Amino acid sequence: MTFRAWLAANYSIPARIVAVIGALASAWGLVVAVGDMDGENPVSWLMFLGPALAGAFPTLELAWRRGHDLSMATVKPRWFIFPLFGALGAVVAMGVAEIVMRASGEIAAAQAADKWHYWFAVDGPQVVSVLFGLLGYGAGLLLAVVFYVVVLWPLQIILRPRQAIAENMMDTSEANFRRNRIALALMPLIVIGAVAMAIGFTQGIGWLAVLATAVEVALVVTAVVLQKIDKKRRAETGAVSD
């Protein structure tokens, strides 16, 4: 399948509408940010939240799209490609708004009133639309992963456990169904545990770092012990050796 055909099959009309709305929302956020000297107006956050939501929506919509394919082969391209579209649309929309406001002198006036302007500091980036477009891309990718872990993965395990087991190349036999389902159910907890560990270590919260590390190790060991993989399928894909 060519990239164009893949886009036609996977970039739905609702997702494109959300991308347009996200781009326009980012431009609105930039306009509001000019008057938001202290960075206290939540509408200003639309500069990066607009493209982030546009980029994450194609992952979220897998919850109700026909087929419900949540395999990595389906999900990963969405994580990296669609947030890029959201970011590019936002950069264009914000770029136009920024050019207009610079031409009208609104940004210069805001900087003259406060050279430490929260969004448009005098010594800050000269083209904020590109900066927040890139931030929107990163936020969109992370948000898509969060949707997958917190929303889609649990739904798949609850509603379509056999499909989830097959997509993860685990043994689909009835004898190992229950243990593989439990192993898959632990995956979102493992991701959340990793985030908690990162927060504990980076923020210097000792008790959280220790507790999260202990829980993480226990979850990983339990998942590894429980799961029964389909060695034949994984060998065919090169995931394991014969």
Report pLDDT for 43: 96
Using alpha carbons only, give the angle 207, 154, 190 rounded to the nearest 5 degrees: 30
- Tell me the mean pLDDT in the region 216-221: 95
Percent of the chain surpassing pLDDT 70:
98
Per-residue burial over 99-137, b = 16 or more CB atoms within 10 Å of its CB, e = otherwise: eebeeeebbeebbeeeeebebbeeeeeeebbbbbbebbb
Tokens for 238? 């090169």
CB 12 within 8 A of CB 78: no
The pLDDT of residue 230 is above 90:
no
131-140, 177-186, 223-232: least confident range: 223-232
The pLDDT of residue 210 is above 80:
yes
Beta bridge partners of 90: none
Confidence of residue 238 (pLDDT cuts 50, 70, 90): low
DSSP state of 114: -
Residues 51-81 pLDDT 10s: 999 999 999 998 888 777 787 778 888 999 9
Confidence of residue 200 (pLDDT cuts 50, 70, 90): very high
Report pLDDT for 240: 56
Element spanning 165, H or E: helix 161-167
Report pLDDT for 65: 81
- Tell me the mean pLDDT in the region 144-149: 90
